[in-house]
Amino acid sequence: MPESVSLTIDGQEIRAPKGTMVLEAARTAGILIPHYCYHPGLPVVGSCRMCLVEIEKVPKLQPSCATPVAEGMVVRTTTPQALENRRSVLEFLLANHPLDCPVCDQAGECGLQDYYMEHGRYDARHDEDKTRRKKAVPLGPHIMLDQERCILCTRCVRFTRDITRTGELGVLSRGHRSVIDVFPGTTLDNPYSGNVADLCPVGALTDRDFRFQCRVWFLGSVPSICPGCSRGCNIEIHYNRRFDPRYHDRRVHRLKPRPNPEVNGFWICDEGRYAYRTIDAADRLKIPALRRGDGLREASWAEAIGEAAGALRGVLGGNGPGAAAVMVSPQMSNEELFLARRLFRDRLGIDRIAGRAPAAAGASGDDFLIRADKNPNTRGMDLLFPDAGDCRDLVESCAGGRIRYLHIFRHDLSRWYDPGRLAEALREVDCVVFEGSWDSPTARLADVVLPAAVYAEKEGTFVNFQGRVQRFYPAVPPPGAALTDLDILARLAAALEAGAAGSTAAGLFGEIAAHVPEFAPLTWQSLGPTGRWLANPGNDHAV
């Protein structure tokens, strides 16, 4: 524990670790000091002067973002002098700022708008024309630059220099001619480029993907976990609260990073950020389907579950549990995995269970956030199914005619198994059930297709590669007739008369904690917004 000091901010007694800046100490006490250039994830430059506060015994206002706390310090953030400074800073920033808020994506979450309403509110004193600069310049695949809107806080520049170390952006010229730009002939194209749109306090850097899609005040926000790789970056899902299928073609509009110092800091990668498109993708499975002859035909849940349960019951009765097999997936939540384990393994006695599959071609990681394992819950699957076999071996067993019932969760086997041989292998199985969210060659080879919700449509937990157990929440309902895997498994269990109790995620998590020692110290409530470590997470903690 670093030494701590006590100080007073706006009359509140505050203790803060030595070295903390006044701005951060104030934030922990719920006092938000306006700021532009300061960002907790970037080096401090103290250049915008928005955060100036009064400190007793110091003659001039001090930048709270660059002033460390000291014992006995008395800070006042709302004195007439401090407020006047904010007005003046805003007046200078707005002197050349275009008033294109009506067509600016940032409107509604803009540092200039918000602080002007709080602190500015002056009558304009400028008759001069505003300076004109480049607008709507695509900087790279994801980012659009508007130089007129920029307030030169340099957050974006520091991000590319200190976080990604790619150095694409710079401040060119000086004085009122200064602009942000890339070097001629180059682009802002690195695996984390989307973060600069989040960082930019104004509408100077916006996300090309989100451009003109939805006004931000129509967006709802739900905390979640990115399912794109085993890092499990903390995110927010932003969805259209007024979604109407007659006018809108997607419910989820964007993903934003949610700070978690243990996992992703303040950032997410572009691959994860733009993967939100899969949520409302055209190839989502929405209606259960049954094989009739050569094709799949839409069916009701009762028919689909009835067919799967009937086939499974027949195989278990006729051939014994050895002829039934299950492919669980590291895409499933801990709760889903646990429910599958209870139903298939504990109740029905099936022990042919596979889980691990070969990585998709080209899957790679880096030394920052991106992991080569593109599954969010490999660690959870390994804990809940320590004996799970290799999926390839199971396909071989199918080809060898040893399997009569196969229940596939989520895997698209054609990604790593020759599609022609796969079709032959699955033809050997009397009943193939595919439970997943997207259409795929595997789904099309199944006899029963059960459409399942994606992470944004349900709640649950994943364990990331470091051993952090993290919770995600539902933002939107499953599309069409799709159900969560927990609901589907509960229905299947009921049809098999194999007991369906305890199928809420919260209840199942409690059972996991009771049965799996690594989860023992955890409770559903204790996970909080940023998760908790497993009992023995291993020594892999570093971000």
Partner 1 sequence: MQGLSPSARLRIEELSARYPRKRSALIPSLQIAQEEAGYISEEIMVEIARMMELSPNEVREVVSFYSLLHQKPVGRYVIQVCTNISCQLCDAEGILRHLRRRLGIGPGETTPDMKYTLLEVECLGSCGTSPVMQINDEYHENLTPEKIDCILDGLQ
Instruction: Tell me which residues touch ligand FES (CB under 6 A).
Output: 35-38, 46-51, 63, 65
The DSSP-derived string for 452-486 is B--GGGS-EEEE-TTSEEEEE---SPPSTT-B-HH
- Name the binder of 309 from ligand SF4, partner 1, ligand FES, none, CB < 5-8 A by kind: none
Which position has the token pair 């297709």?
A: 449
Beta strands in 241-380 (DSSP E): 252-257, 289-292, 295-298, 324-327, 352-356
Q: How far is it, in rounded angstroms, from Cα 121 to Cα 150?
A: 20
- Name the binder of 65 from ligand SF4, partner 1, ligand FES, none, CB < 5-8 A by kind: ligand FES
Which of 446, 383, 386 shows the shortest CA–CA distance to 413?
A: 446
Measured from the CB atom, is 147 or 437 closer to ligand SF4? 147
Which of 309, 202, 194, 298 shows the shortest CA–CA distance to 254?
A: 194
At 145 the three-state DSSP class reads strand
- Name the binder of 202 from partner 1, ligand SF4, ligand FES, none, CB < 5-8 A by kind: ligand SF4
Q: Smallest gap, in angstroms, from Cβ of residue 60 to ligand FES? A: 13
Q: Smallest gap, in angstroms, from Cβ of residue 36 to ligand SF4? A: 7
- Name the binder of 175 from ligand FES, ligand SF4, partner 1, none, CB < 5-8 A by kind: partner 1
CA dist list (Å): 303 to 426, 444, 464, 492, 495? 22, 18, 37, 11, 11
Q: Are strands 352-356 and 324-327 parallel, antiparallel or unpaired?
A: parallel
H-type alpha helices, 54-151: 80-95, 111-115
Measured from the CB atom, is 168 or 336 closer to partner 1? 168
Measured from the CB atom, is 173 or 539 closer to partner 1? 173
**Footprint of ligand SF4 on 200-259 (CB under 6 A):** 200-202, 204-205
At 445 the three-state DSSP class reads helix
- Name the binder of 388 from partner 1, ligand SF4, ligand FES, none, CB < 5-8 A by kind: none
199 binds ligand SF4 (CB under 6 A): yes
Measured from the CB atom, is 175 or 528 closer to partner 1? 175
Structure tokens at 158: 């520091």
Measured from the CB atom, is 85 or 377 closer to ligand FES? 85
Residue 14 contacts residue 77 (beta carbons within 8 Å):
no
Q: How far is it, in rounded angstroms, from Cα 102 to Cα 171?
A: 27
- Name the binder of 185 from partner 1, ligand SF4, ligand FES, none, CB < 5-8 A by kind: partner 1
20, 154, 334, 464: which one binds ligand SF4 (CB under 6 A): 154
- Name the binder of 328 from ligand SF4, ligand FES, partner 1, none, CB < 5-8 A by kind: none
**Cβ count near 304 (within 10 Å):** 24
Interaction site with partner 1 (CB under 8 A): 161, 166-175, 181-186
413 binds ligand SF4 (CB under 6 A): no
Q: Smallest gap, in angstroms, from Cβ of residue 154 to ligand FES? A: 10
Measured from the CB atom, is 46 or 389 closer to ligand FES? 46
Beta strands in 122-197 (DSSP E): 137-138, 143-145, 169-172, 179-182
H-type alpha helices, 400-542: 419-427, 441-445, 485-495, 505-515
Site residues, ligand SF4 (CB under 6 A): 150-156, 180, 199-202, 204-205
